[in-house]
Amino acid sequence: MLTLMLAWVSLIPSILLSPTKYLWAVTTTQSFTLAFLSIPWIFLQNFNLFNSTFLVDKTSAPLMILTCWLFPLTILASQSKLINEPINRQRTYIVNCSILQLSTLLAFAAADLLTFFIFFEASLIPTLFMITRWGAQERRLTAGYSFSLYTLIGAIPLLIWTLKLYEKYGTLYLPTMNLLPQTLTPGSYELLFWATCNLAFLIKLPLFTFHLWLPQAHVEAPIAGSMILAGTLLKLGGYGILRTSFLIQEPATNKALYILALATLGILATALLCLRQTDLKSLIAMSSVSHMNLIIVAVLTCSQWAFSGAMIMMIAHGLTSSTMFCLANTLYERTNTRTMIVLRGTLTMSPLAASWWLFTILLNMALPPTINFNSELLMMLAIYDWSILSFLLVALNLIATTAYTLYLLWSTQRGPFPKHINTTHPLYTREHVLLTLHILPTLLLILKPELIMM
């Protein structure tokens, strides 16, 4: 852990000091080193590594590795867009990006609930910089406002709740809290109590009806922002819920029935909403919301299978949706549009990119041997066990998912040869490497999914 922290911290002077010509080479190399340094955590899983500051266990290690792994990829993805900007702006961009990833990493690694809270909220600031300074359109300011508004509304109850827990148990150290008698006795306002406690996490995930900030933020953010948002920031919410799941055991399902119903509805509604999107990035964002709501439903049923499924889903979705944003970005960089109807027919221009699209979309749809499928299966089984009605509703989602997957493929790839965009360059090697590094872990994990089970 210390090695890694040193590596992260040393990244900042090297970004600020490295000569202009080598800025991207140096930062990319260094961030890849960092990603590889984080890999050993995967072998630490049955041996809990914790001290008073850090906690690396089955719940946090996969997400921490994901964070470290995505960092070089975000650097790789933003290169071509930023290379034309003034050098100082490039440097602040990378510094902001690394601070964002670092605070996410520290939130995952924190052994203390309050430290977790601090870094959870700290990630807001660099994200806000990314969206408002490097976003493409004027509306980025609105997106920034609503993003911070939603996050801060969630923060207050979470802080109060954390302090209450401290008052009650006298500790916020997570390994100790796991051992405490698991009773939350909030009196007769159980649902309200539970909901306000977890509001911050539910907003971050986001729960349907609290999701409005997400498509906006995704659409306005630069590519690295989108990748980090989809890849790790949303997972902070999921991690928060999983981490505090020892508090929401058995009776939670009844306490949170309304939330469960809302999330079940949300899975379906957002999947159907995907069919109505015209903007490529906002479609991908909506499909993330659908997946994240499935996690909420599953986690609230409080079974071990659901927890494992949710964990796998977070990793699988982090990699897959980040890939989709990269693909959307390759189109955006070439054509300067995200409107799907304008992008029709790109298959005829670059078939290789189209095969990447097909592959990624199939992963997102959870095609059988992939870990996405694994996770959905585990969660669906847990939901089936809990209630057949809810299972049927969730199963309907499969139809909607297939529908929007086909819609995405049809409306961006198929169609007549696009005469207005016939001067684009096929995918660069850098982009192929980027996509491969996203997909490769997903494929490797098929062989041993228990590595990321909780």
Tokens 């499928």, residue?
373
Binding residue for ligand NAG (CB under 6 A) from 18, 28, 92, 146? 92
Least Cβ distance, residue 136 to ligand NAG (angstroms): 15
Least spacing, CB of residue 215 vs ligand NAG, in Å: 23
Which stretches within 248-370 are classed as H helix? 252-255, 257-274, 280-300, 304-335, 346-349, 351-364
Q: Residue 90: in which H helix or E strand, if any?
A: helix 87-109
* CB-neighbour burial class of residue 300 (10 A; exposed 0-12, middle 13-18, buried 19+): buried
Q: Is 74 near ligand NAG (CB under 6 A)?
A: no
| Distance between CA atoms of residues 84 and 62, nearest Å | 35
Quote the CA–CA distance of 363 and 33 in Å, as a whole number: 27
Binding window for ligand NAG (CB under 6 A); candidates: 92-100, 161-169, 184-192, 269-277: 92-100
Q: Which is nearer to ligand NAG, 100 or 408 (CB)?
A: 100
- Residue of minimal CB distance from ligand NAG? 96
The CB-of-79 to ligand NAG minimum distance in angstroms stands at: 18
Q: Which range in 89-97, 138-146, 235-243, 349-357 contacts ligand NAG by CB under 6 A? A: 89-97
CB of 434 to ligand NAG, least distance (A): 24
Q: Where does this chain touch ligand NAG (CB under 6 A) — which range of 95-103, 163-171, 367-375, 423-431? A: 95-103
Task: Provide the CA 284 distance to its chain's centre, in angstroms.
Answer: 12
Shortest gap between Cβ of 55 and ligand NAG (angstroms)? 27
Applying CB under 6 A, does 443 fall inside the site for ligand NAG? no
Place of tokens 């009196």: 187
- To 10 degrees, what angle do helices 234-243 and 190-204 make? 140
95 is an interface residue for ligand NAG by CB under 6 A = yes
- On the CB side of 427, CA atoms within 13 Å amount to 25
Count residues near ligand NAG (CB under 6 A).
6
Over the Cα atoms of the chain, what is R_g? 21
By CB under 6 A, the residues from 125 to 154 that bind ligand NAG are: 129, 133
Binding site for ligand NAG (CB under 6 A): 92, 95-96, 99, 129, 133
